[in-house]
Amino acid sequence: DSDLFLLDTRVVWASEEGWLEFDITATSNLWVVTPQHNMGLQLSVVTQDGLHVNPRAAGLVGRDGPYDKQPFMVAFFKVSEVHVRTTRSASSRRRQQSRNRSTQSQDVSRGSSA
């Protein structure tokens, strides 16, 4: 639980029906840049008195509920001129540079022997 942090909250009355919307823009942006930070989402239901309630007991539908009422996430990503670069392994570049050096030294030795 120490890795969990609050993304958004909603006050919902027992008589309400319909979809709940949560803004997780910052988190989804982080997931795009660093997928290893994607630990999923957890929904908690807490009464105004601070009591934790099972989401199913509160009427929320999970993956076992009717297909047309299962939760889903919609994302909109705006393309911009700023390109996000991710860290990659540099080992193949080092190998390529060492190959180029050995090829260059062979070319120099061939040229001096001719």
For 77-105, write each residue's pLDDT tens digit.
676 666 666 666 666 555 556 556 655 55
Judged against a pLDDT cut of 60, whether residue 50 lies above it is answered with yes
Domain boundaries defined on the chain: 25-113
Query: What pTM does this model have?
Result: 0.52
Range with lowest mean pLDDT among 9-18, 26-35, 56-65, 69-78: 69-78
Tell me how far apart the alpha carbons of residues 104 and 93 are, in angstroms, rounded to a whole number. 16
- For the cut 70, the answer to whether the pLDDT of residue 114 exceeds it is no
Cα first-last separation, the chain: 71
Phi/psi region, residue 36 (left: phi>0; alpha: psi -120 to 50; beta: rest), is alpha
> What 8-state DSSP symbol labels residue 84?
P
